[in-house]
Structure 1
Amino acid sequence: MRTPLITRQGFENLKQELDYLWREERPEVTKKVSWAASLGDRSENADYQYNKKRLREIDRRVRYLRKSIEHLKIVDYHPEQEGKVFFGAWVEVENEVGELKKFRIVGYDEIFDRKDYISIDSPMARALLKKEVDDEAEVVTEAGTVEWIINSISYEK
């Protein structure tokens, strides 16, 4: 089960995607399907088949977005979070061999297409929650256990 949290920016992005799919892309694809269907034999009509498939993908994504938006809880920054790792934090960590990582802890729906975001449900995020700068976090994964030291914590205000 995923934690139903999202940043305000992530929530707005999902709403924009839903609006674009429903008001712009879907009507355009529907026109193409109607046009291709009017040409006759649909079994050999690539335009019809492709656009019909795209229409199903759009409808599936729209259903997912509507359901998600309804259940997600927006988490805004609060000054009490300063100095500790909580949802929405930008965190820089370093391991014993000097490898540095910097990422933001966000909701599941925000991590796609972003290499610098990790899910609140990830082992790294779970290990870092409520820690402070210079604290050590032991991250247990399938590959083994690694210790990370927190170098910095910041928030988008």
Structure 2
Amino acid sequence: MSKAFTKETDGADDDELSLPALPAHGKNYITPAGYKRLRDELLDLIDNERPKIVDVVHWAASNGDRSENGDYLYGKKRLREIDRRIRFLTKRLEIAEVVDPSVHSGSDQVFFGATVTYVDDEGGERTITIMGIDEADSSESQVSWVSPVARALLKGRIGDDVLLPTPGGVRSLEILNVVYPPARLQMQGDL
């Protein structure tokens, strides 16, 4: 068979490739704000973006020849992307375990949601916030709770030295400060 008649796949439709790894127990800890962001994104995709693209695809299909119809081809591709993201968000929200870090406000021990300042054995000081897998943003100094540095810091207290295994060897981190967001009043519609 000629190569012209074979279907090329780039694996982009494989949902499992895009999922960040979860620990073996399958918990997906997330802050209330992170859960709300994911849920809002899911609802926006379902209620707004997908219906708009469906209308474009329907209009483009009514124009005749679909093989050279850019609106139709792009619309179908975009629908696949939206549907893939909807499946991803639905799966993640189903296993999400919302944890409010403000319950630890005033504690000197590191738990999920803590903003931790530490100094490494070379004197470099750094502040990070331990977040959920789906909400951590490294550009905002946020790390996932399953990251090596977060796992090393979890359960430590101010003044503790914890060990962080790295490819270059074991590093020592001293916890200088632990801060949690202040407690807030829960509104009925928050989650």
CA displacement at 1:122 relative to structure 2:
0.7
Partners of 2:95 and 2:109 in 1: how far apart? Answer: 27
Provide Cα deviations, 1:55-109, integer angstroms capped at 9, x if missing partner: 1111111112112212111111324771100001011122122322211111111
Q: Secondary structure at the match of 1:109?
A: coil
Residue of structure 2 equivalent to 1:153:
178
> Residue 72 of structure 1 is aligned with which of 96, 100, 103?
96
Structure 2: give runs of 5+ residues left out of the alignment.
1-21, 183-191
Gaps of 5+ in 1: none
- The DSSP-based 3-state class of the residue aligned with 1:110 is coil
Structure 1 residues 81 and 54: CA distance shift in structure 2, 3 A: farther
How large is the Cα RMSD of the aligned pairs?
Answer: 1.8
2:86 to 53, 62, 67: 62
Say which structure is richer in strand.
Answer: 1
Work out whether 1:9 is the aligned partner of 2:33: yes
- Asked if residue 121 in structure 1 is aligned to residue 146 in structure 2, the reply is yes
**In 1, Cα distance between equivalents of 2:167 and 2:81:** 33
Runs of 4+ with >4 A deviation: none
| TM-score normalised by structure 1 residue count | 0.90
More helix by share: 1
Bigger Rg, which one: 2
Aligned partner of 2:76: which letter? Answer: K
Number of residues of Structure 1 aligned to a counterpart in Structure 2: 157
TM-score normalised by length of structure 2: 0.75
Q: CA deviation at 1:141?
A: 2.7
Aligned 1:133-148 pairs, distance under 5 A: 133-148=158-173
